[in-house]
């Protein structure tokens, strides 16, 4: 037990060091630094929300259009950035593997964690501003909101653990990684609540952990204004399956990875 605790402390220090290195490398020490990571999802969700409000009106199915767009597009930008930054992640960080405490899975964990923290900061900041402007409700169930985010982040990490080694094994996969985000959009729950869809389509979408996560997030925010549909058993099962294959691929790539 003592050796496990010691190993865990060492690994936490490794993750902390990798996070600091990643933040300094990407954002430097000038201007607002790390806060830039929440600027992209804020701008993206804000612009799309304004356009949707103009096209579809201020409300959609009794929900504020701006709030609906913000709750969908901010997690979507997190997914896009995480998938995009998982490509060739081992190759670009291979020099750090000289340190035996550093594992290749640490690189994926650090990047997904940074993107998740940035997206959550953007979510909270946008919510606070929009609450004061009267376009965002106060969260109805914080527990459901947090659970939805946890499912979403866990699944994105599992997929990134597959995309990262696959991009090292094939240049074609590397080029297709950005496209994977757009392929995932219909299964992300961004554009619709499951209750607005026909029953057969709704049941099929329950195989997507992204939909379950998004449904929980929106229920946690809007409460009885929406009827959430989610399947935690399928969400966790599919996520664990992706993670299992991702770990196998990571192990295979580590054996052939040349430390530069």
Q: Kindly report, residue by residue over 116-126, the tens digit of the pLDDT.
A: 988 888 888 88
Mean pLDDT of 192-216: 89
Higher per-residue pLDDT: 189 or 245: 245
Residues in the chain: 260
Q: How far, in Å, CA of 64 to CA of 67, rounded?
A: 5
Q: Averaging pLDDT over each range in 26-30, 115-119, 148-152, 223-227, which range is the top one?
A: 148-152
Q: How far, in Å, CA of 93 to CA of 91, rounded?
A: 5
| The model's pTM | 0.87
Q: Which residues contact 138 (CB under 8 A, 6 or more apart)?
A: 131
Strand 63-64 versus strand 59-60 pairing type: antiparallel
- Residues 222, 135: contact at Cβ < 8 Å? no
Q: Please say if the pLDDT value at position 31 is more than 70.
A: no
Q: How far, in Å, CA of 152 to CA of 216, rounded?
A: 10
Identify the sign of the CA torsion 115, 116, 117, 120: positive
Cα dist from 156 to 32, 193, 203, whole Å: 27, 20, 21
DSSP state of 192: -
pLDDT band, residue 233 (cuts 50/70/90): very high
Helix (H) or strand (E) holding 163: helix 142-169
Cα-Cα-Cα-Cα torsion 201, 210, 150, 40, nearest 10 degrees, comes to -140
pLDDT computed for residue 30 by the predictor: 58
pLDDT computed for residue 33 by the predictor: 57
- Residues 217, 152: contact at Cβ < 8 Å? yes
């Amino acid at each position: 037990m003592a050796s496990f605790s010691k190993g865990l402390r060492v690994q936490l220090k490794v993750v902390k060091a990798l996070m600091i290195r990643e933040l300094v490398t990407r954002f430097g020490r000038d201007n607002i630094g790390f806060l830039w990571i929440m600027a992209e999802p804020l701008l993206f969700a804000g612009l799309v929300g304004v356009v949707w409000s103009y096209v579809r009106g201020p409300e959609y199915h009794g929900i504020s259009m701006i709030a609906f767009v913000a709750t969908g597009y901010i997690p979507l930008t997190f997914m896009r950035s995480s998938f995009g930054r998982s490509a060739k992640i081992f190759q670009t960080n291979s020099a750090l593997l000289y340190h035996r405490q550093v594992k290749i899975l640490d690189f994926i964990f650090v990047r997904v964690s940074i993107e998740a923290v940035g997206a959550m900061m953007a979510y909270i900041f946008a919510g606070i501003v929009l609450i004061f402007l009267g376009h965002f409700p106060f969260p109805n169930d914080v527990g459901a909101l947090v659970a939805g985010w946890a499912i979403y982040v866990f699944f994105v990490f599992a997929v990134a653990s597959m995309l990262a080694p696959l991009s090292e094994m094939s240049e074609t996969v590397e080029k297709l990684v950005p496209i994977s985000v757009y392929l995932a959009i219909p299964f992300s729950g961004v554009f619709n609540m499951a209750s607005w869809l026909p029953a057969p389509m709704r049941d099929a979408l329950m195989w997507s952990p992204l939909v379950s996560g998004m449904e929980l997030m929106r229920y946690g925010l809007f409460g009885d204004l929406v009827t959430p549909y989610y399947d935690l058993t399928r969400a966790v099962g599919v996520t664990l399956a992706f993670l299992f294959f991702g770990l196998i691929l990571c192990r295979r790539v580590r054996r052939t990875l040349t430390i530069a």
